[in-house]
Amino acid sequence: VDAFQTWCGPCKTVVDLFRKIRNEVGSDLLQFAVAEADSIDALAKYRGKSEPVFLFYAVSENTATV
């Protein structure tokens, strides 16, 4: 999950890069999502930062891990 803010121009180019990777790897192995930190309360701790924030999750049959 790419947690971004609307004012972050470089963050938008990262989205294109991840879409390219996903298309090359295949959607069965990699899921990519973007989340606007400005509008999601759970992402409030990422607001006002000037660096990209990527949240990676691995899912197994029994549990999900962060």
Q: CB–CB of 11/52 below 8 Å? A: yes
- The answer to pTM > 0.85 is no
Q: What is the DSSP annotation of 1-66? A: -EEE-TT-HHHHHHHHHHHHHHHHH-TTT----EEEGGG-GGGGGGTT-SS-EE---EE-SS-EE-
Q: Is the pLDDT of residue 66 over 60?
A: no
Across residues 52-58, what is the average pLDDT? Answer: 75
Q: What's the whole-number average pLDDT of the chain?
A: 75
In the chain, where the domains are located? 2-54
Of residues 66 and 10, more confidence is placed in: 10
pLDDT classification of 63: cutoffs 50, 70, 90: low
* pLDDT the model gives residue 19: 80
